[in-house]
Amino acid sequence: MAFTLAAYVVIGALIAGRTGVADPVYVDYYRGNEAIGVYGKTYAELLETTHFHLFSYPLFLLLQGHIFLLTSWNARLKAALVIAAFVGAALYLAAPWLVLFAGPGFAWVKSAGRALLGIPLILFAVVPIYEMWFRRT
């Protein structure tokens, strides 16, 4: 779990550097912007990235979510966080397609996906670590 937290820091830096955290930067990354020399993503590039993440996200969420479900948190809250993570992953994967083919107005979907996926993932790592190592029973 500690390595998972380190991985979150690395992926956060990668996302900030590559696609940006603001919607306009994200739109430029996927649709391109000749004025700043950024070329948009092709259908094949999006398909390759989506293919990889469609396999990895569910497996990762299964593992992390399962460990989180073993914690002492309220069952409804745990279920809500697991559902939010899966919805966030779906939005996160759909966003590049929406931005590229439906228009830049869908950039907000990426931000919503990041929030719905990111917050539960952090909790999936932090809560089990806290309960295993620091909580007094």
Mean pLDDT, 10 residues at a time, the chain of 137 residues: 80 75 79 88 95 94 96 97 98 96 93 94 95 86
What pLDDT is attached to residue 90? Answer: 98
What pLDDT is attached to residue 21? Answer: 66
Query: What total number of domains does the chain contain?
Result: 1
8 A C-beta contact, residue 124 and residue 68: yes
Residue 87 CA to residue 22 CA, distance in Å, equals: 21
Residue 14 CA to residue 80 CA, distance in Å, equals: 28
Structure tokens at 100: 């590229």
Please report, in angstroms and rounded to a whole number, the separation of the first and last CA atoms in the chain.
21
Which domain range does residue 101 map to?
Answer: 2-134
What is the torsion angle, in degrees rounded to the nearest 10, for the CA atoms of residue 120, residue 124, residue 127 and residue 132?
Answer: 180
Residue 103 CA to residue 31 CA, distance in Å, equals: 9
Can you give the pTM of this predicted structure? 0.85
